[in-house]
Structure formats: structure tokens, C-alpha cells
Amino acid sequence: MNQAPAVDPGLTVFEKLLYLRRGQTAELARSVSAGQLSAVADQMRDRAFTTGAVLMREGEAPLAAYSLVRGRVQVSRRGQVLGEVGPGAAIGIRGIFSRDVVGLGAVATTDVLALELDRDVLVDIFEDVFPFLLETIKAGARRHLDFIRRMTQVPDQLPPIQPEPFLSGPLDFVRRLLLLKTPGGPFERSALDALAEVAQAARHRSFDAGSRLWSEGDRADAACLVIDGTIACSSARDDGSVEFRVGRGAAIGALEAIAARPRWHDAVAETKVELLDLHFDDVFDVFEDNVDMAMDFLAWMSSDALHLVETTLGPGRELLDFFTGSSD
């Protein structure tokens, strides 16, 4: 990268901890202990950049994330300027989470002091400090859910061609594994021994056409993977209701279950529906013993959020907020 030589402005680990508590990571920082957070702060390097220095380049997967302490940075993607951010922004961290390869452009518009966290170091921290990884997943779910609840139109999640019914008999253990390993799903890359624990804990449920799965405001205690059938979803809003449909292969209810928030929409079976219920307390237990699986899940969730923002809104303030946590 074309960046100014690093200097040592002299931030102590304690000062870095205070900064993390105050900045865009504050919600996450409050969820982990000071000792766990210090493991992150200790690995963040002080970096100084002069006006015009390049922190990140488009077309390159991010190798590090930068939390701005002082100064301002202009951010771009796919050749379009998204905006400018200042102190408190965390540039590129969600690009690392989502394993994005398109990359960002980030250029200092003033002299900048930032805390740099290498991608490989972050992965090591996730492997060593599971509570930090778990709270990162939960915080990501909360952000993704908040974005969806602001959308005036939610896209349907239906297969392009109506498939043959998946179930011709009992949903045995092998079929559960095959379903959880669906290409493009959150567990596609998961090791079979770890996925076997999730499959054993999952519960198979069936609903007749017209049955209500849940109502808006209900407690969200599980996510559902649709095995077969179609579900009609709707949410009452002050500016008009939002309606969408979900079909085979889609996950429904996962974000609010992870975020421990109420159901944000009604869900009614349009046809006979077969579901596999996943309680995330059980999934989190598996994640703790299989950190690669947890990181794959974080990547899938973050990539899904990025795809939704880019395809529904394109370049702008929401995309800037996704990549930096700040749209000032």
C-alpha cells in the first residue's frame, strides 16, 4: 500500500481500551470483559497517515481494518465515492468479516491517526477469545436486522424453479445433514462432525396451509430452515405494510433469534410447510468447540447483509455505514 511511514504516537493499551469503549465498537465492547477486550487493544497498532495517503485500495481484499482516532478519510467502492468519515469510524472491519474481495478505497483527506488491526491477527483473536467472536456475530445480527426493518420493500426468498417436494418420508439424520449443507447456506463449508451436532439438536416441524408460525412481536426462540413449502410474511409499518414470501432452502427468523429480539413480522404458511428448527443456544455451543464453523457463519451473515445493501440501495450512505459504522 502507498501509505505514510508508521510513527508511534504513544497510545497506551489503556487509552486504546477507552477508545474502543467509546467508538463504533462500543456496543460490542460493552458485551465482553475488559480482559478480553484488552486482547484486542493490545494487538492494535498506532498508525499515522499524512493527507493524501492511501489506507486501502479498491480491488484488493482488506488486509487490515482501521479505527479512526483523529482525522478524516474518504471511502470509495467500485469507482464511486461513498462519503467521508471521521473519528469513531471503523474502516474495513465488515469487509474482513464478509471476506469481501471487491475492496474499498480509503484515502486520508487530513492527517490521520488510526488504530490498525491486521486481518490475520483478528482471526487469531477470534480463535483465542470465543466471547469476542460470539458477540461479533450477535452485533452483526442486530445491525442486519435494523437495516431490514428500515427497508420499504423486502425481496422474496424463493427458488427460481419450484422443486419437487423434499420429503417423501421421515426426515432422517442424513437428510438433515444434506439440508444443512445446502450450497450457499450458512453451513455449506462446515465440517461434518460439527454439523452432526447441529443436526441432532434441530427439530422437524410441519404446518398445514393457513397455519400461523408466529406473529409480529412474539419471542424469537429459534430460526427455521424451510425444507418445503412457501411462507407469506408481513410487517405492519407506520408508512405502510411490508410483504414478502419465503420458500424452500431459505432461513427465516435467524436474525432476531441470534439478536434476542422479538419477531419483526407475521409468518403464515401459504402451502403445507416443512421446517427444521434451530435453537441458537445449541448452535452457539457447537460454535464454541468449532471456531472455523462460527467464522464461516459470520462470513455468510455479513456477506448476505452486504449483498442486500448493495443490490437494494447501491452506493450511498447505507453502504458507507456498512463498511465503516459511521455515516457522518
8-state DSSP, 36:
H
User: According to the model, what pLDDT value does residue 21 have?
Assistant: 62
Percent of the chain, pLDDT > 70?
85
Distance of CA 236 to the CA centre of its chain: 25
Distance CA 188, CA 39 (A): 31
Q: What is the mean pLDDT of residues 193-202?
A: 92
| Amino acid letter, residue 185 | G
- pLDDT tens-digit readout, 214-223: 999 999 989 9
Q: Between helices 119-128 and 291-312, what is the axis angle to 10°?
A: 130
| Amino acid letter, residue 165 | P
User: According to the model, what pLDDT value does residue 185 have?
Assistant: 83
Percent of the chain, pLDDT > 90?
54
Cell numbers describing residue 203:
427439530
Q: What are the Cα distances from residue 117, in Å, to 28, 45, 220, 223, 326?
A: 16, 7, 34, 33, 18
Instruction: Give all domains of the chain, ordered by start, each with its CATH number.
Output: 13-142+317-324 (2.60.120.10), 159-280 (2.60.120.10)
pLDDT band at 10 (very low <50, low <70, confident <90, very high): low
State yes or no: pLDDT of 72 exceeds 90.
Answer: yes
Residue in the block written with cell 445446502: 182
| Amino acid letter, residue 7 | V
- Which has more confidence, 39 or 306? 306
pLDDT band at 24 (very low <50, low <70, confident <90, very high): very low
State yes or no: pLDDT of 158 exceeds 70.
Answer: yes
The pTM for the full model equals 0.85
Dihedral (C-alpha) 134, 140, 141, 145: value to the nearest 10 degrees? 170
Q: What is the mean pLDDT of residues 240-263?
A: 91
pLDDT band at 255 (very low <50, low <70, confident <90, very high): very high
DSSP assignment string, 250-264? -EESHHHHHHT----
